Structure 1
Amino acid sequence: MNVAPSLTPEIIEERIRALGPWFHNMKLGGMWTAPDHFLGDYPGVKFRRFADTLPADMTGKTVLDIGCNGGFYAIEMKRRGADRVLGIDFDEAYLSQARFAAEVNGLAIEFRKMSVYDVGSLGERFDLVIFMGVLYHLRHPLLALDIIHDTVAKDLLLFQSLQRGSATVDPVAEDYDFWQQDHFDSPGYPRMFFVEHRYSGDPTNWWIPNTACSAAMLRSAGFTIEAHPEEEVFLCRRTALAHPGAVYPSKDTRP
């Protein structure tokens, strides 16, 4: 890591405090950004569980990190040699943290304020789209996946969501009779839990899927699951869909 000479340990420590609180606990200039994080070394501790699932050499690749927060994943992909990394977030405080973290690491990463629903305005597709820790904060989660598929995903999607309920995944039939209802009560059937008020003190938590639902939503949006290396993490590949868009698509037209 090549830290700019002007960024002394004292300045880095002062900036870390000024930009806090941090959700991404990263070591910048030898100092942790969130040393009292309730999840410890997060997201590093999570990333180590599936880091080998992603290409070790990202040379020549482009990366879009949606909901980049403090920039941890954008930085990791740039370290792997990605030619272009763009991180977007709707929270200016997180973007300020991400820009500073990239500066301390001496990495050229672009960060913009943008909603996931507006990524189509970028007008380009990326070899890897990172969509970690965002879905459950959205009022319209499947719409977001549809937009990502239709506008910015070129090949790989790295997905993660907070999950609750059963980790069991039931086989699901292509169709069910109107009077058949037992499958809806099975813990392994795809389901999402709606948070009307707050969950874990956070009013931005809206929909929390179980494992089966995460997988089903990804497939429905046109992503083939290639790996499931961690209970909440899926590595997917974009595939073509026959339906014309995100509004009332007919399931019968899907390949």
Structure 2
Amino acid sequence: MEAAQEARRRRIRELGPWFHNLHLPDGMQTLPAHPLGGDFPRFKWRQIAPHLPADLQGWRVLDVGCNAGFYSFELARRGARVTALDVDPHYLAQARWAAGELGLADRIDFRQGQVYDLAGEAGHFDLVWFMGVFYHLRYPLLALDLLARRTARLMVFQTLTMPDDAGAPVGDTADCAIDARERLLAPGWPRMAFIEERLAGDPTNWWAPNAAAVEAMLRSSGLQVQARPGHEIWLCTPHADADATRALWQPQHDSLLGAAARGPA
């Protein structure tokens, strides 16, 4: 037993650094002293879990930016078949190892790639898990559009936000006269800050929307907010009029994606 634990402890060190604190079957943890405080991301899962079906048998799940696999594991435990996507082979190595330790490897397909790769793929997922990725993307609304189109039942969305939750949106935000643009500065108007260099020392932090902008972008992608389980977390379902909403931008969207796939002329 001690030899097995020491081997596991050594493997955790070899696979480091970790961002997800995973609880292994023998009680060992991958990052018990997390810099974000608490037991991350378990404390976020506890906020979201009551809003999800306890039985996900027959559900197909897409976990975008799966990191070391914490959420994929929790969803697989509920019976889902999970496709777990991440761009970083370091995190995927952690996730594949941990899946074996947890006995969940046969329920999860780990894939290296980025969210934009989904543009060339067909099919839908019952649940799209889109947490901790949006603000790291150079083209965030394109990614949200791609994922919203593939969401059959639920999307769990989370993003870094800017501290601008003061009050509800000011009046009707559906239009703004060109000579009344001061309204765009009103507290609660949907807006998103662009981060040119770094936020928290991270050059991949590109955007910080306010809560009103998050909900407006979700609506514009054909989703409707059903709940806010925790800070910066939204639970969404496809809107009944999603096709009509997407018709406003879908032709341009598909044209741009087709041009990108073809490459330079």
Q: TM-score, normalised by structure 1?
A: 0.89
- Give the superposition deviation at 1:167: 2.0
Structure 2 match to 1:41: 39
In the aligned structure 1, how far is the partner of 2:252 from the partner of 2:153?
23
| TM-aligned CA deviation for residue 37 of structure 1 | 1.3
Q: Is 1:23 matched up with 2:19?
A: yes
Residue 92 of structure 1 and its aligned partner are, at CA, apart by: 0.6
d(CA) in 2 for partners of 1:31, 1:248: 46
Q: Is the 8 A contact 1:165 1:187 kept in 2?
A: no
Aligned to 2:259: none
- Given that 2:173 and 2:189 are in contact with CA atoms closer than 8 Å, whether structure 1 keeps it comes out as no
Counterpart of 2:29 in structure 1: which amino acid? W
CA deviations on 1:69-102 (whole Å, 9 max, x unpaired) are: 11011101001111x1110000111111111121
For residue 263 of structure 2, what is the aligned residue in structure 1?
A: none
The match for 1:101 is 98
Of 56, 72, 75, the match for 1:74? 72
C-alpha separation in 1, matches of 2:112 and 2:253: 29
Q: What is the match of residue 54 of structure 1?
A: 52
Q: In the TM superposition, what is the alpha-carbon distance from 1:44 to its structure 2 partner?
A: 0.5
Show the 5 A alignment for 1:108-127. 108=106, 109-127=108-126
Distance 2:176 2:253 in 1: 20
Are 2:63 and 2:83, in contact at CA under 8 Å, matched by a contact in 1?
Answer: yes
Higher helix share: 2
In structure 2, C-alpha distance between the alignment counterparts of 1:211 and 1:194, rounded to whole Å? 15
Higher RCO (Cα < 8 Å, 6 or more apart): 1
Instruction: Give the secondary structure class of the aligned counterpart of 1:52.
Output: helix
Q: Which residue of 2 aligns with 1:91?
A: 88
Shift of 1:230: 1.2
User: Quick check: 2:68–2:91 contact (8 Å CA) kept in 1?
Assistant: yes
Contact preservation (8 Å) 2:89, 2:112: yes
Which residue of the partner structure matches residue 229 of structure 2? 229
Change (3 A) 1:74 1:12: same
For residue 6 of structure 2, what is the amino acid of its counterpart? E
Distance 2:218 2:76 in 1: 26
1:248 offset after TM fit, Å?
6.5
- For residues 118 and 180 of structure 1, the distance between their equivalents in structure 2, rounded to whole angstroms, comes to 40
1:247 aligns with: 252
SS for the counterpart of 2:155 is: strand
Quote the Cα distance in structure 1 between the aligned partners of 2:30 and 2:253. Answer: 44
Identity %, equivalent residues? 48
Q: Distance in 1 between matches of 2:234 and 2:74?
A: 17
Question: Could you state the TM-score of these two structures normalised by the residue count of structure 2?
Answer: 0.86
Aligned CA-pair RMSD? 1.9
Task: Show CA shifts across 1:164-219 (max 9, x none).
Answer: 22123415432222211232112211111111111111111001111111111111
CA distance in 1, matches of 2:39, 2:184: 38
What is the DSSP-based 3-state SS (H/G/I as helix, E as strand, rest coil) of the residue aligned with 1:180?
helix
* Equivalences, count: 242
Aligned to 1:253: none
Is the CA contact 1:183–1:189 (under 8 Å) kept in the aligned structure 2? Answer: yes
Q: What is the correspondence of 1:101-250 to structure 2 with a 5 Å cutoff?
A: 101-107=98-104, 108=106, 109-150=108-149, 152-168=150-166, 169-171=168-170, 172-239=172-239, 240-242=242-244, 243=247, 245=250, 247=252
Counterpart-to-counterpart distance in 1, 2:99 and 2:147:
25
Q: Distance in 2 between matches of 1:221 and 1:35?
A: 37
Distance 1:50 1:147 in 2: 23
Q: CA deviation at 1:65?
A: 0.3
Shift of 1:238: 1.7
Structure 1 equivalent of residue 7 of structure 2: 11
Equivalent-residue separation in structure 2 for 1:121 and 1:173 (angstroms): 34
